[in-house]
Amino acid sequence: MNEEIRALEPKILWNKFADLNAVPRPSKKEERVIEFIKNFGNNLNLRTKVDSVGNVVIYKPATSGMENRKKIVLQAHLDMVHQKNNDTEFDFDSQGIEMYVDGDWVRAKGTTLGADNGLGVATMMAILESDSIEHPAIEALFTIDEETGMTGAKGLSPDLLEGEILLNLDTEEDDEIGIGCAGGVDITATKKYAEEKMPESYQVYSVKVKGLLGGHSGMDIIKGLGNANKLMNRLLINTSENLKLRICELNGGGLRNAIPRESAAVIAIPDTEVESFKKELEIRAEEIKQEFASVEPNLTIELQSISSQNTVMDLKSQREVLLALAGAHNGVYRMSPEIEGLVEASNNVASVTLKNGEIQVKCLTRSSVESSKDDLASSLKAVFELAGFDVKLSGEYPGWAPNSDSAILKTLDELYQKMYGERADIAACHAGLECGIIGSHYPEMDMISFGPTIRGAHSPDERASIKSAQKYWKFLIEVLKNIPEN
């Protein structure tokens, strides 16, 4: 199946991507891909280092005639987001990604593709292997764990790199030159609850919210997509207002950086209220479907009778949890007043699990401004603490402040105009790039970000444009030729 991928142009890029996608590389489990990249560098007889946290750096001297140019750092992250459709049988820990061509797009069969940031990694591999591409001295930095904490960038040794310019290859629009990004913080709220014996004469049902698009919780948050956890909570809180509904279990979402696509609840209803519940659920479900019709055309809400459960959540905790989830902000919190169209701050209610006497809620709060990130995090903390949750903040990382006077920005801006007859979109993004963290280790480094067009990152709908990859590759080759002199 991947042979059709290997036949795409530029072959050197797509072949490296196919090689990489044969290696399982989930966040926090990058041992195999670290070894893969280390062996790749050693087999090219290039100096290769692995630092204490697992980042890999491969050093390549300048090609003939380019020795007087500034040394550059090429950078991409090794890990990928693992998401699959519920009906897809796939083991991310042992299987390589199954790819196919769909018109101008490369896709994966029912899973994330790993183009984020695998195409950046493949680009670096292709340049390191090539003996015909002109370039200055290169330090190719392959970081780990970008998707779930940026621990690779955070743990980067400050004496590992000498490059003056960093080219981050993790932007997902081929007409965009990135000059800034959002920082983030993980919020985890946990609460114990009492389990009570299932009341007599109750029927048990499964309620499922399915078919949502999901996507990147930073880049796609502005689209107003449905969040399965918030929609499920709306159904439960509305139908429980006048009925004796009891919650047995909840399981929705997953990774913090992915907008949750599905949620499942197990609930119990008195025999005498079943028909009333069904009618109320149908009304609420139809309201939600109409509300999200333009952005979530495949949204479905299913009700199914299931075998009896032994326990339910105590009523006091049930009310507290439903109110807290209703009050927890989800989506855009503030738009940037300085940069038109840029989300400044947002939150993703990413995961909700309720079972065996404990509920856990995981959020990812992002902002390009530290004060608004702190404000939103404090607001969420207050909501959950008022409902009796224990709240912890962790995994905080800084944003990357835009520098409109960047010398490398000027180089790329002029080159893009020369090649394509128009200006690139020079922008900051509402995603977590590693530039801000790397910049804290190397404050004098001039940084820029660009890449090929990728859609649906962090979801099974992830796809990479073939034409865009060709445009990006051509642009990068010219960028390498035009790195300024020392």
- Provide the CATH number for the domain around residue 392: 3.30.70.360
Same structural domain, 315 and 381:
yes
Supply the Cα-derived Rg of the chain in whole angstroms: 24
159 inside domain: yes
**β-sheet bridge partners, residue 263:** 209, 252
Could you say which of 30, 139, 146, 461 is catalytic?
146
* β-strand partners of 188: 362, 392
Question: The dihedral of CA 24, 28, 29, 34: what is its sign?
Answer: positive
Judge if 415 and 305 occupy the same domain.
no
Look at residue 418 and tell me if it is in a domain.
yes
Same domain, 111 and 250: no
Shared domain check, 250 and 217: yes
Verdict on whether the full-model pTM lies above 0.85: no
The reply to whether 70 falls in a domain is: yes
Greatest CA separation for the chain: 84
Rounded to whole angstroms, how far apart are CA atoms 223 and 283?
25
Q: Are residues 215 and 118 in the same domain?
A: no
CA-CA distance, 395 to 153, in Å (whole number)?
A: 12
Measured CA to CA, the distance from residue 142 to residue 380 in angstroms comes to 34
Tell me: do 166 and 201 sit in the same domain: no
Residue type, 294: S
Known catalytic membership, residue 104: no
Structurally, the chain folds into a number of domains equal to: 2
451, part of any domain: yes
Is residue 166 in some structural domain? yes
CATH of the domain at 125: 3.40.630.10
Same domain, residue pair 157 and 64:
yes
Of 397, 422, 438, which one is at a domain's C-terminal end? 397
Please state the separation of Cα 308 from the chain's center in Å. 37
Domain membership flag for residue 486:
no
Residue 477, domain member (yes or no): yes
Residues 154 and 232 in one domain: no
Q: Which residues pair with 80 in a beta bridge?
A: 26
Q: Is 91 helix (H, G, I), strand (E, B) or coil?
A: coil
Q: Are residues 263 and 341 located together in one domain of the fold?
A: yes
Q: Could you tell me if 27 and 49 lie in one domain?
A: yes
- Residues of the chain short of pLDDT 70, as ranges, are 1
Instruction: Please check whether residues 146 and 190 belong to one and the same domain.
Output: no
Contact 410, 423 (CB under 8 A): no
Final residue of a domain: which of 349, 382, 397? 397
Q: Is 390 a catalytic residue?
A: no
Check residue 1 and give its pLDDT. Answer: 55
Closest CA to 56 of 80, 81, 31: 31
Looking at residue 214, its pLDDT comes to 94
Last residue of a domain, one of 365, 397, 429: 397
Q: Are residues 323 and 205 in the same domain?
A: yes
Strand partners, 455: 463
Range of the domain at 199: 185-397
For 135, which DSSP code? Answer: -
